[in-house]
Amino acid sequence: MRPSNLDLGVIGNGTFGALLDSTGTVVWCCLPAFDGDPAFCSLLSPKRDGGMWSVEIEHFAGSEQQYIPNTAILRTILRDKHGGAVEITDFAPRWRHYNRLYRPVGLYRRVRPIAGAPRIRIKLQPLADWGAREPERTWGSNHMRWLLPGHVLRLTTDLSLRLLRDELPFVLDRELHFVLGPDETLTQPIAAYIRDAEERTMIYWREWTRYLSIPLEWQDAVIRSAITLKLCQYEDTGAIIAAMTTSIPEAPHTQRNWDYRYCWLRDAAFVVRALNRLGATATMEEYIRYIFNLVTGERADLQPVYGIGFEAALHEDEAEALEGYRGMGPVRVGNLAWKQVQHDVYGSVMLASTQLFFDQRLQQPGDASTFSRLEPLGEQAWLMHDQPDAGLWEFRGRTSVHTYSSVMCWAACDRLAKIAARFGMGDRVEHWRGRADRIRTAILDNAWNEERGHFADAFGGDRLDASLLLLADTGFIDADDPKYVATVEAIGKGLRRGHGLYRYIAPDDFGAPETSFTICTFWYVEALAAIGRTEEARALFESVLARRNPLGLLSEDLGFEDGEAWGNFPQTYSHVGLISAAMRLSRPWQEAT
């Protein structure tokens, strides 16, 4: 049975991630990392049986699911029609070991009876080569192995291998344990090992969330979003993926269907800034290392997106053996956005880096040498601030001098001036402040549409774009500036539909957009609060929270009428927006006493 919606949970550990449906079935998991072959791919409808790991209860009556609070450990309860019930606990191990993080490519699972005499069947059916074939499998006394491309997957269990191999039904009368991961022998009793691993993983996540600087209100939503963002960083390199999936369409049967398992510098910068606001600065430090591995002495220009292992070329192909989410193909592997020119990337990197130079808590704060490594990005921003690009929405068929891109080029120069002042570099302050001021003047002269009475999406343009809501957040303009207020009000009238916002409404290469882009709704919430319409902002924020899936997670888009989730999942952009809006809107902690 294939998922019919995005009511999915996510588990992971900074090396890989997996998605589970409401019955606890693993429906998506790329191995051995986010950008790998999806051994579990039933989310995207393989043409052959398999691509999942399920616990099926006979006479199924319903399921319940929740995270253990403040962790990435997921519990699912399956109930049958006769009063029987089974509890499934799923997690990816993550804890500190010998002053390092232990985070292997492993899915750990406990299955135990909690009522009656339930009969279950375990189906563990990985596929290989993007769903094209069943991998060769072998087995021993207590384990099974699947020979995947470039990776051997091994299951160690205390379940009878005959019951597992032949997928035979049986009465669950004791707790069972499963370790699915690298081809390594388990050298201790599996029950004790799983219990210890679960406890260590729980301690890690609760310790991590304990030190988050969360707002007074909406704490559960913010914590869940923060954990989700943390799960989307590939810690081997510091890259942050946009989402764990590929090819979940932005609306039913649309051609807007992309692979998001890569690191967009813009999206990643938003993630870093959101986690910085919560005090989780390690993500920033790891991401800056990733950036410095991309920026070499030979060239300072940046692509908008890279692979998690610094790959520059992300060639786009189609996986013929997968029919797509609900059969809505094609399924894309790779993303041609790597070939695009998007000038906002320089400001994005700079905004993500700035706290590095001012936060005294950091073990390795930015210094003059770090500043000098960032200056070439500022030079690129200066050169490109008035040049056409594809924009942050990655238009494939047109280019313009997009206002948002130019504002981010301004932000790159502005932040370099501030960092230079931090180190008392008077000549560099003058250099970067001069360039920032000239870019700002160009934007004010060319992006303001006097006839329409609002900022436009591009120099000399007349269209609205939700990214204009960020002009105040970047510091480009004051929130009480009449031009900003007028732009926010115009966007509310032109792009808002009910409980959501379009990114833009002008048709593009693929026609007119059909769904609300969730982070744009959150941007509008923050903009409303910034211009003093706080109660309206709170009401809209609550309406979006109500449209999260049952586990508190968000995809990229929401249907205007039914609130149905569309787009890749879980979407870092959306969870960034939730955190930022909650931080702005929440009552202060003083009101709790």
Task: Please tell me the least confidently modeled range out of 63-72, 136-145, 483-492, 522-531.
Answer: 136-145
| Cα within 13 Å of Cα(139), Cβ side | 14
Question: Cα–Cα distance between 148 and 51 in angstroms, integer?
Answer: 12
Tokens 């006097």 sit at which residue? 450
Q: Both tokens of residue 225?
A: 């979003």
Which amino acid is it at 500? Answer: G
The whole-number pLDDT of residue 297 equals: 53
Does residue 1 have a pLDDT over 70? no
Does residue 298 have a pLDDT over 70? no
Question: Cα–Cα distance between 468 and 491 in angstroms, integer?
Answer: 9
Task: Please tell me the least confidently modeled range out of 391-395, 459-463, 487-491.
Answer: 391-395
Share of the chain above pLDDT 90, in %: 87
Across the strands, what pairs with 179? 108, 156
Please give the mean pLDDT across all residues of the chain. 94
Tell me how many degrees the CA angle 106-291-240 measures, rounded to the nearest 5. Answer: 35
For 143, counting Cβ atoms within 10 Å of its Cβ (0-12 exposed, 13-18 middle, 19+ buried), the class is middle
Q: What tens digit of pLDDT does each residue of 349-399 get?
A: 999 999 999 988 888 899 999 999 999 999 999 999 999 999 998 887 788
Task: Please tell me the least confidently modeled range out of 211-225, 266-280, 295-309.
Answer: 295-309
* Average pLDDT of the segment spanning 231-260: 95
The whole-number pLDDT of residue 300 equals: 72
Question: Cα–Cα distance between 245 and 263 in angstroms, integer?
Answer: 13
Contact assessment for residue 527 and residue 488, using Cβ atoms and an 8 Å cutoff: yes
pTM of the model: 0.96
Q: Lay out the sheet containing 107-115: strands in order across.
A: 60-67, 74-80, 85-91, 107-115, 176-181, 151-157, 143-148, 136-139
* Average pLDDT of the segment spanning 434-463: 97
Does residue 591 have a pLDDT over 60? yes
Instruction: Name the 3-class secondary structure at 343.
Output: coil
- Tell which phi-psi region holds residue 320, choosing left (phi > 0), alpha (psi between -120 and 50) or beta: alpha
